[in-house]
Amino acid sequence: MLFEQIAVGGCRSYLIGCEDSCAAVVIDPEVSQIDRYVALATRDGLRIRYVIDTHTHADHFSASHQLAQQVGAQVVMFRTSPAPLVDMRVDDGDMIVVGKLRLQVLHTPGHTRDSMCLVVEDRVFTGDALLIGGTGRTDLPSGDSEMLYDSLFNRILKLDPALKVYPAHEYKGRSHTTIGEELASNPRLQVADREAFVTLMGGLNMSMPTHITEALRTNMSGGKTVAQMLAEAAAQVPFISFVELKRNIDGGKNEMIILDVRERDAYVSGHIPGAHLLPRGQLELRVNEELPDPTKRIVTCCELGRISTLAAATLREMGFQRAVALDGGMKSWREIGNPITLGSEP
Ligand SMILES: [Fe+2]
């Protein structure tokens, strides 16, 4: 078995490959690491066949759909997962066959209702059900402490004590542990009974993960994150530097249309000399009267350089093939001390 653990902050994902058939699987991929999974698989001569999410994540953005699309793999999740873009839904007791490897599915609800563990040879991938010296939390959507108690004490902890435990999260840099070690020393497991465990979990009072709304929205719908929308727009447009734009303004050639896509009050309180106002929200509707010549060079600008990127991508889509976005926003433009004009358009 070829095995690679990929750590990003507290998230852990895994690439497992069969040496004989060169088939591989990625478990719990994270959106910032897509190129890494593909690169590691390529380096080891592996073809990724399956991309598995052990559960619906609330604290990070799953890359399953995107990664699977890129490499032509199947997205695998538990039968009841709310995620819509799943190719193969599996049940408790099912086996996912990856070349000569057999991944045994163990339904272990509690952290979420759709949580599952995967047992492969000498190790178990526990998702967020069992962590090193901890357990997944049960206070997020579809979490349930009683269910987690059953999943832990009646299923996971009854596995071979020598099995290596690889969780989906680890915050202290440890790579893995074993079922036996967790049984002996995991503080959350040293409880007398179910009631004690439920009380313990209920008293944790953890803060909400950052991005929970966006993570649940995108992971449960297959929709895009804001960062993804911006990255896709940025990949479609060239940018122009402050220096180049200023050289143009100073040269007085007036070859570029500077399009300020902020709202009117922001524009009035200070804009790039010669800039025209066309708020992003009105762009499509007013483009015909404001920008009659699609061959003109257009530079979009906004406060932080993000909305202007979306605006330039929209303009390109509408046929303005020379639309570019300013690399940076008005905030930096002012801070550097570049010239600004106050008031409305003449
Ligand atoms: Fe989780």
Q: Determine the distance separating the centroid of ligand 1 and the alpha carbon of 270, expressed in angstroms.
A: 45
Q: What is the mean pLDDT of residues 145-153?
A: 98
Across all residues in the chain, what is the average pLDDT? 95
143 CA → ligand 1 middle, Å: 10
For residue range 155-190, what is the model confidence (pLDDT) as tens digits?
Answer: 999 999 999 999 999 999 999 999 999 999 999 999
pLDDT attached to residue 81: 95
Q: How far is ligand 1, taken at its centre, from the CA of residue 128, in Å? A: 5
pLDDT category of residue 54 using cuts at 50, 70 and 90: very high
Q: How far is the CA of 54 from the centre of ligand 1 (A)?
A: 8
Question: Tell me, what amino acid is at 152?
Answer: L
* Ligand 1 center from residue 241 Cα (angstroms): 41
Query: What's the DSSP call for residue 344?
Result: S
Q: What is the pLDDT of residue 74?
A: 98
How far away, in angstroms, is 112 Cα from ligand 1 center?
7
CA 197 to centroid of ligand 1, rounded, Å: 19
Strand stretches in 19-163, DSSP E: 23-27, 47-52, 74-78, 88-90, 95-98, 101-107, 116-120, 123-127, 130-131, 134-135
CA of 177 to the centre of ligand 1 (A): 19
Give distance in angstroms: CA of 59 to centre of ligand 1.
6
Ligand 1 mean position, distance from CA 317 (Å) = 38
Instruction: Render 126-175 in DSSP notation, one character per residue.
Output: EETTEETTEE--S-STT--HHHHHHHHHHTGGGS-TTPEEEESB-SS---
Distance 214 CA to ligand 1 centre (A): 14
| The pLDDT of residue 209 | 85
User: Per residue in 1-49, pLDDT tens?
Assistant: 999 999 999 999 999 999 999 999 999 999 889 999 999 999 999 999 9
Q: Which two tokens stand for residue 163?
A: 């099995």
Tell how far the Cα of 154 is from the centroid of ligand 1, in angstroms: 20
Q: pTM for the complete prediction?
A: 0.81
Q: What is the pLDDT of residue 222?
A: 85
The H-or-E segment that residue 59 falls in is: none
What span, in angstroms and rounded, lies between the C-alpha atoms of 203 and 206? 9
For residue 8, how far is its CA from the centre of ligand 1 (angstroms)? 14
| Å from CA of 299 to ligand 1 middle | 42
Confidence band of 331 (pLDDT split at 50, 70, 90): very high
Tell how far the Cα of 80 is from the centroid of ligand 1, in angstroms. Answer: 16
Residue 210 has pLDDT above 90, yes or no: no
Tens of pLDDT, residues 100-138: 999 999 999 999 999 999 999 999 999 999 999 999 999
Give the separation between CA 106 and CA 36, rounded to whole angstroms: 28
Whose CA is closest to 246, among 295, 293, 287, 301?
301
How far, in Å, from the CA of 105 to the mean position of ligand 1? Answer: 17
3-state secondary structure of 281: helix
Confidence tier at 345 by pLDDT (50, 70, 90): confident
